[in-house]
Amino acid sequence: MSSSENTTATTDASAPETHAFQAEVARLLHLMVHSVYSNKDIFLRELVSNAADACERLRHEAVTRPELTRDDPDFAIRLEADKDKRLLIVADNGSGMSREEMVSNLGTIARSGTRAFIDSLGDNKDGSALIGQFGVGFYSAFMVADEVEVISRAAGEDSAWCWRSDGLGAFSIEPVELNAAPARGTRVVLHLKEDTAEYAEPAKIERIVRAYSAHVPVPIVLLAPKEATEGEDDGAATEGGTEERQLADGTALWTRPKSDISEEEYKEFYGHVSGQFDDPALTLHYRAEGRHEYSVLVFLPSMAPFDLFDPDRKGRVKLYVRRVFIADDIDLLPAWLRFARGVIDSADLPLNLSREMLQTNPVLESIRKGVTNRIVSELQKLAKNDAETFNTIWENFGPVLKEGLYEDAERRDKLLELVRFRSSADNGASWRSLADYVGAMKENQTQIFYATGASQEAIASSPHLEGFRARGVEVLYLADPVDAFWIQMVQGFEGKPFQSVTQGAAALDEIPAESADADKDEADKESDSATDIGLVTAFLKETLGDKVSDVRASARLSESPVCLVAPEHGPDRQLEKLMARQKGAGAGMFAPVLEFNPKHALVTSLSGRLGAEGSKDDLADMAFLLFDQALILDGEAPSDAAAFARRLASVMQRGLA
């Protein structure tokens, strides 16, 4: 049935006219109210958005027709609440609606006056401040109300009308006296359901408005019964036991020029959007223009938020569309920037009907890419110009940023410039960049050496670093769990490949020792001749069997007798341990390589005993003890604790005999 056809005949022009909704509205309203919106609070956001749109429409029209706003130039949205009567009123002094507009806009689902207005603007005017483009937000009121009245008077018109419906399939329109209608604009009266009377509570209204609509371009005030309090009330008292409170001042911080905003204002807003009490370490505020327009006000904290390592890895940057809050759990930034807090406000981002979820579209990806690149660029500038502040950010969020090395191949090279490490150069006292490392590489050194481990202290005490330390070769300490993964994805830095000190053969032979150790090296070469490397290698291989994949003399040991390393083409030892734990295995998937130090007195003595005539059976315990010692030095427990204890007791007993 057409919206202009009356279902009740009448000859009285002032009597209500009853109309059927178009598009089988009874069923459609039911589906929309119960399916489109998952959160009932959204209805107030929608009504406030509609009111803001009406004010913006009139603001545009008044440019060419200033008489429309001459008597009342200040726009505002006024909320009134009465819990006893279960009433909530949303009023504005915007463009208002004529009878025909009421029938057209409120009588047809998915027809939007705002959409029509934007279409009428053409290419020469700006409609970017308008929000409602789908025409269904108004009907969300029926989630909380069993009857809705809309009293409206179009700007410049001499008549006012009342639209009324219970949302069950029909609506009525009747004229109202001008003294019972606003001077211009619209008043939406919600008769709340019994189980939704809480939406007439001032505290509830204030919370919703501050969460969703605090930055619409029109001031919002709340008129509610005055609460009995002692002393002076902060609100402006009015007659009749009510008070008026301003909930929003019609401005948004991110829309103002940076030069007009003080550090204190930025800090206050940061606290509002982040819920933290620290000062932001980095503030990024700009407006992107061009193919897509959006405003960005993003902060990087100086203190890690409590949910930094939440398994969901959700971001907390709030999305606004034309200053109306949409969501705070959309992936506007990659997961490795989830510690960022702030606001992104888009002028042209497509939304679905409820605005609760974004459509998959290139606009969102463009915003995501643009803001991510800008944050990385700002971090690069900060690292160069303010190392102290950058190091604060890195100390809190370095492990998270390193997730980007694993996940974000597009920005991997830029992130490698940002990554900071503790290293053996100064016993882990300061942060080192890869550029610092490459600039300090030794003669004939062609690789960037690193060591992974459970902690910086465990890495520093590892026997694998002994040969590197003796030659003054810097080793990077990679102590975060993510390090074992991203390092496998990165080819190198400035043409220098990464090499684990626990993997493959140590490329140290071509690197000269520090001058102070030259004499010691000569002495060590003499002691090498006392060890039969081939005999020791064969004995350990035969005795240990499949516990090891290989046995060889070590160039990386200078103090310890033995250590375990990963095979040349296997995973790093730390990654191997992580993989084994994930699979619930007691040991890794690849047997390690046992390296022994031919200069160590214990190995030299073993070589001497092996070369002597007689049984070698009593030396088998020595082979297993050396392997268990290597496990312990690698941060693991012996695979057979009882056998380890028995062998150790036996060797001690023979030593005391």
The pLDDT value recorded for residue 220 is 96
Domain match, 208 and 278 both: no
Task: Name the 3-class secondary structure at 324.
Answer: strand
Task: Tell me, yes or no, whether 182 lies in a domain.
Answer: yes
The pLDDT value recorded for residue 119 is 62
Given 369, 393, 417, the domain boundary residue is 393
Taking only the tens place, the pLDDT of each residue in 293-314 is: 999 999 999 999 988 998 889 8
Q: How many domains does the chain have?
A: 3
The pLDDT value recorded for residue 228 is 56
Residues facing residue 287 across a β-bridge: 295
Lowest mean pLDDT among 282-296, 352-366, 586-600, 613-627: 352-366
The pLDDT value recorded for residue 185 is 96
pLDDT of 245 strictly over 60: yes
Domain match, 273 and 237 both: no
Which candidate, 396, 403, 437, 398, places its Cα nearest to that of 419?
A: 398
Q: Report the pLDDT averaged over residues 559-566.
A: 92
> Which residue, chain included where needed, has tokens 């009245």?
149
The pLDDT value recorded for residue 17 is 74
The Cα–Cα gap between 371 and 391 comes to 22
Helices (H), 410-532: 412-418, 434-439, 456-460, 466-470, 483-489, 518-528
Of residues 328 and 356, more confidently modeled: 328
The pLDDT value recorded for residue 487 is 92
Phi/psi-derived region of residue 377, left when phi > 0, alpha when psi is between -120 and 50, beta in every other case: alpha
The Cα–Cα gap between 641 and 615 comes to 26
Domain match, 162 and 212 both: yes
The pLDDT value recorded for residue 171 is 87
- DSSP 8-state class, residue 566: B
Say if strands 160-165 and 77-82 run parallel, antiparallel, or are unpaired. unpaired
Of residues 588 and 344, more confidently modeled: 344
Task: Tell me, yes or no, whether 590 lies in a domain.
Answer: yes
Given pLDDT bands bounded at 50, 70 and 90, which one contains residue 172? very high
pLDDT of 275 strictly over 80: yes
The pLDDT value recorded for residue 529 is 62
Domain match, 157 and 90 both: yes
The pLDDT value recorded for residue 283 is 97
The pLDDT value recorded for residue 137 is 75
Domain match, 36 and 183 both: yes
Annotated binding site: which residue ranges?
A: 46, 50, 92, 97, 105, 112-113, 133-138, 186, 355
For the chain, the residue count is: 657
The pLDDT value recorded for residue 617 is 63
Q: Report the pLDDT averaged over residues 484-502.
A: 91
Domain match, 171 and 269 both: no
Domain carrying residue 232: 17-249
Domain match, 285 and 208 both: no
Of residues 438 and 357, more confidently modeled: 438
Of residues 556 and 237, more confidently modeled: 556
The Cα–Cα gap between 608 and 606 comes to 5
- 449, two tokens: 């050496």
Q: Report the pLDDT averaged over residues 324-328.
A: 81
- 17, two tokens: 């006219």
The pLDDT value recorded for residue 257 is 93
Q: Report the pLDDT averaged over residues 14-21.
A: 68
Of residues 34 and 463, more confidently modeled: 463
Given 202, 225, 249, the domain boundary residue is 249
Taking only the tens place, the pLDDT of each residue in 124-134 is: 555 555 555 44
Q: Report the pLDDT averaged over residues 204-222.
A: 92
Lowest mean pLDDT among 1-15, 374-388, 529-543, 619-633: 1-15
> Which residues lie below 8 Å from residue 468, measured CB to CB, with a gap of 6+?
424, 449, 474, 475, 501, 506, 508, 556
Domain match, 35 and 152 both: yes
Given pLDDT bands bounded at 50, 70 and 90, which one contains residue 366? very high
Q: Report the pLDDT averaged over residues 509-529.
A: 60
Domain match, 108 and 157 both: yes
Domain match, 100 and 166 both: yes
Annotated binding site for ATP: which residue ranges?
A: 46, 50, 92, 97, 105, 112-113, 133-138, 186, 355
Q: What is the mean pLDDT of the chain?
A: 84
Lowest mean pLDDT among 61-65, 97-101, 343-347, 503-507: 503-507
Percent of residues, the chain, with pLDDT higher than 70: 81
Say if strands 432-433 and 420-423 run parallel, antiparallel, or are unpaired. antiparallel
pLDDT of 501 strictly over 70: yes
The pLDDT value recorded for residue 58 is 93
Lowest mean pLDDT among 254-268, 489-503, 600-614: 600-614
- Domain holding 603: CATH number? 1.20.120.790
Q: Report the pLDDT averaged over residues 604-618.
A: 77
Which candidate, 554, 557, 574, places its Cα nearest to that of 566?
A: 574
